[in-house]
Amino acid sequence: MNQVFYKSTRSDSAPVTASQAILQGLAKDGGLYVPETVPKLDVPMKELAGKPYQEVAYAVMKQFLTDFTEEELKSCIARAYDSKFDTEKIAPLVPVEDCYYLELFHGATIAFKDMALSILPHLMTVSAKKNGVKNEIVILTATSGDTGKAALAGFAGVEGTKIIVFYPKDGVSPIQEKQMVTQRGDNTFVVGIHGNFDDAQNGVKAIFNDRELEKELDAAGFQFSSANSINIGRLVPQVAYYAYAYAQLLDRGEIADGEPMNVVVPTGNFGNILAAYYAKSMGVPIEKLICASNENKVLFDFFRTGTYDRNRDFILTSSPSMDILISSNLERLIYKVAGESAEQNAAFMKQLGAEGVYTLPEEMRGQLKDFYGNYTDEAGTAETIREVYEKTGYIMDTHTAVAAHVAKTYRKETGDITKTVIASTASPYKFTRSVMSAIDPKYQKEEDFALIDELSRLSGTKIPQAIEDIRSAPVLHKTVCEKDEMIKVIQSFLGV
C-alpha cells in the first residue's frame, strides 16, 4: 500500500509520517499538515453499506494513517467508539422533512467534537510510542466551548499526557462552562481568558511557535501538542462519518449506488467541512459542500467575493461554537487551490496576520465551485428550531439550526433536489436555554435545569448522562487570566 506523508502548508520542509504529524500538531513553520495526496478509498461504498461505524472508520482512516499497523488502528478505534456513545450506531442518520440529520452528538460531551476527540488520545499515545518520545505530552487547546470539554474528557487520566484548555471567559454557554470547570482528573487544567475565541486561538498558536519555551519545557520533560482541529489526528477521524452517512443511505435504499448527496455543515473553524471535502476527494459521492455560517459570516463573504476579511465586529450568537473570524482550517483549502504552493499560501496567511484580509485571484476562486456558502441570523436560527419542532416534533440545537436554515435557502435559490445530509453538531441539551426560548419565549424566565426537564418532556428524549453529571458536580477549575498571561499560567501549572 502507498505510504501517505504529510507536508506543511507554509514551507517545503521535509514531509513527516502521520504519527509525527499527530504528535506535532502544528508544523514548525506555523503551517498546517496536509496529506501529500488525499488517498482514495479502496473499498467500494456498496461494501460499506450496513457495516458498523467502527468498520467504516477503519476503511477510511487506514488510508490516511499508513504508518499505523492494522492492530494499532483497530485498537484505537475500538477504544474510542464504544459505550461512551449512547447509541450503537455512533452517528445515526435521522430523516426529518426533506433532509437527513447526521447526529454527531451521541458521545461523552454531546457535541460532534467527541467523534474525533475520543480517538485522538489513543492515536497520540500510539504515535508517541512509535516515535520513541520520552517527554510527557502537554495538550494545549483553545476552545469556543465544545472542543475543550471533549478534549478534557478524552485526555483525562490518559497516562503520559496533561491537558490545558483555554476558553473565552464570557464567550461560551453556561452549560459549556460548567462542563469544563467541573472536569475531574489530575492531568486536566482549565483556564478562562478575558478575550474572545480568536484571542485564545492566537495565543495558543503563538505558544506553539515559541522556540524558547519549547526548549525550557523539553529540559523539564514536556512537549506540546494540539487537540485543535489543526491537528491532522482530529481531521482524519471526521472524514469517516461522511462515508458512514452515505453507507447508511445506501443500506436503507434511500440512494442509488453512486448517486451523489449534498452535505450541509454548520461551520466555525472549517474543520468539519474540510473533512467532508476530503471524503469527497477520497471518492465518497458528495456533490456540493454547503458551508453554513451564523452572523460571523466571514466564510459566506469569502465564497461570494473571494476576499477573506476578518476586519469586522466579533458577534456573540446563540451558536457560540461558530463564533469565529479566523477559520484556521481554511488554510488547508487555500493551499490546495493555490496549486499546493507553500509560498503563495504563506503570503496569504502573512497578509491575514498583518492586515486581516486577503483576496484570491480569479483562477484560484474557480476551484472553489464545489463549495456553496450562506448564513443565517439569530431570528432565522430560532425560527428554524421552532418551525421544525412544530411540524415534526424534532428538536435540534442552534448550530444545527443554522445549517438547516442554509439548507432551505440553498434549495430555494438553486432548485437542487440532491439528497441532503445536515451535519447535526450538538445535542439540543447543550444549548437548552437558546433552544427552548426559540420554541417559546415564555421559557426565557425559567432556570437551566427546569428547562432541561421540559426539553426532555417536549422532545420525548432521555436527558443525556453528560447533563445529569453536571447537575451536582463541584467546580474544580477557577483560574482566569488576561490574554497576555497564557504562558505564565502554563508555566505555573507545569512547575517550570
Ligand X SMILES: *Cc1c(COP(=O)(O)O)cnc(C)c1O
Q: Which residues are catalytic?
A: 113
Using the minimum distance from each CB to ligand X, give the nearer residue, 26 or 255: 26
* Beta carbon of residue 14, minimum distance to ligand X (angstroms, whole number): 28
**266 interacts with ligand X by CB under 6 A:** yes
CA distances from 376 to 97, 196, 465, 489 (A): 19, 21, 31, 38
User: Which window, 260-268, 405-413, 442-450, 483-491, contacts ligand X (CB under 6 A)?
Assistant: 260-268
64 residue type, one letter? F
**Phi/psi at 298 (5° precision):** -55, -40
Write the DSSP symbol of residue 230. T
- Out of 122, 399, 405, 433, the residue judged to bind ligand X by CB under 6 A: 399
* Residue of the chain from 271, 373, 380, 428 that contacts ligand X (CB under 6 A): 271
Residue from the set 10, 51, 62, 113 that interacts with ligand X by CB under 6 A: 113
Query: Which runs of consecutive H residues, i.e. helices, occur in 118-171?
Result: 120-130, 146-155
Residue 455 Cβ vs ligand X, minimum distance, rounded to whole Å: 16
The answer to the question of residue 232 lying near ligand X (CB under 6 A) is no
Q: What SS3 state is found at 16? A: strand
Q: DSSP readout, 416-481?
A: ---EEEEEE-B-GGGGHHHHHHHH-GGGGGS-HHHHHHHHHHHHT-PPPHHHHHHHSPPP---EEE
For residue 428, state whether it binds ligand X (rule: CB under 6 A). no
Q: 45 or 163: whose CB is closer to ligand X?
A: 163
- Considering the complex, state which of residue 92 and residue 271 has its C-beta at the smaller distance from ligand X: 271
Give least dist CB 157 to ligand X, A: 23
Least CB distance to ligand X at residue 231 (A): 12
Q: Is 272 in the site for ligand X (CB under 6 A)?
A: yes
Choosing from 9, 226, 262, 425, the residue that interacts with ligand X (CB under 6 A) is 425
Among 127, 321, 374, 434, binds ligand X (CB under 6 A): 321
What is the smallest separation between the CB atom of 159 and ligand X, expressed in angstroms? 27
Are the beta carbons of 166 and 488 closer than 8 angstroms? Answer: no
Residue 426 binds to ligand X (criterion: CB under 6 A): yes
Smaller CB distance to ligand X: residue 125 or 183? Answer: 183
Question: Position of cell 520542509?
Answer: 13
Of 206, 203, 187, the closest CA to residue 143 belongs to: 203
Q: CA distances (Å), 143 to each of 46, 140, 336, in order?
A: 38, 10, 26
Residue 486 C-alpha cell reads as 497564557
Chain centroid, CA 394 distance in Å:
24
Cβ proximity to ligand X: between 179 and 248 the closer is: 179
Nearer to ligand X, 182 or 269 (CB): 269
Binding residues for ligand X, rule: CB under 6 A, are: 111-113, 146, 229, 266-272, 321-322, 399, 425-426
